[in-house]
Amino acid sequence: MTQAPPPGAQAVRRALDVLHCFHDNAPDLSASEIARRLDLSTSTAHRLARTLLGAGFLEQDARTARYRLGPAVTELGRLSYHQRGLHLVSPELADLAQRTGATADLALRSGPHAVIVAGGSVTPKVGLRRPLHSTALGKVLLAWPRPGEGGAESLPALPAFTDRTIVEPSRLADELERVRSDGHALNDGESAYGIRTLAIPVLDHADSARFALAVRATPDVITADRMDWFLTQARACARALEILLLPPSERRSAIMP
């Protein structure tokens, strides 16, 4: 028997949808623009935005009356960043990038997206979300799902970004079997031409991918005959991250004989 959602669940869902409008560095938005994005009436969007404004999750430009993410989001984001231990990983990623000449990124899963949380791709002008099905990071997160996360069958329709993108669920399932067998994922022009990415899992104690680690460059840098070398470098970094990202008590147990 399906349990009915609790009272107010729709309002909570809509408020969260408003916050999601600001993904990928979306500009300041007016209430009418939020309404169009979410297929709501302008009055409903305005009411939701004012509620989020009062709670600090949005702030409003006094001159334009447009909304942006507020200080409460910043605070929670920073707390989550530190709780996950992500403040510890930047030196390891920088070292990997320096050794390989590639961009090094660390991502976790959020629904149908890989979200880059640290590394060279985290810049003010670049969105952090990547599709799971067309990226090496995403394939790793799908191939080693955490409890409660689905595999290829959990994704919505698979859009094509190039003629190399896998858009059939059965082909994606076959690809994930190969990824698990090989221990790494490859994206060779599936999201954008001229980009080659290798990714591996950063595993937790249950052998699920807590994060995915990737090195990304052009095919003339990550050449076919050097892929094994790049994977060796990435795996050394992943092993260090698996320990760094443990809680301190578990980290000590992992390194002590």
pLDDT range class, residue 99, cuts 50, 70, 90: very high
Q: Average pLDDT over the chain, rounded to whole?
A: 88
DSSP 154: G
pLDDT greater than 50 at residue 1 = no
Whole-number pLDDT of residue 120: 84
Question: Rounded to the nearest 10 degrees, what angle do helices 31-38 and 42-54 cross at?
Answer: 110
> 166 in helix, strand or coil?
coil
Rounded Cα distance, 135 and 139, in Å: 6
- Please list the residues that pair with 196 across neighbouring strands: 188, 217
Which spans in 61-194 are helix H? 71-83, 90-100, 136-143, 169-182
Q: How far apart are CA 34 and CA 32, in angstroms?
A: 5
- pLDDT tens-digit profile of 29-62? 999 999 999 999 999 999 999 999 999 999 999 8
The predicted model gives 146-172 an average pLDDT of: 90
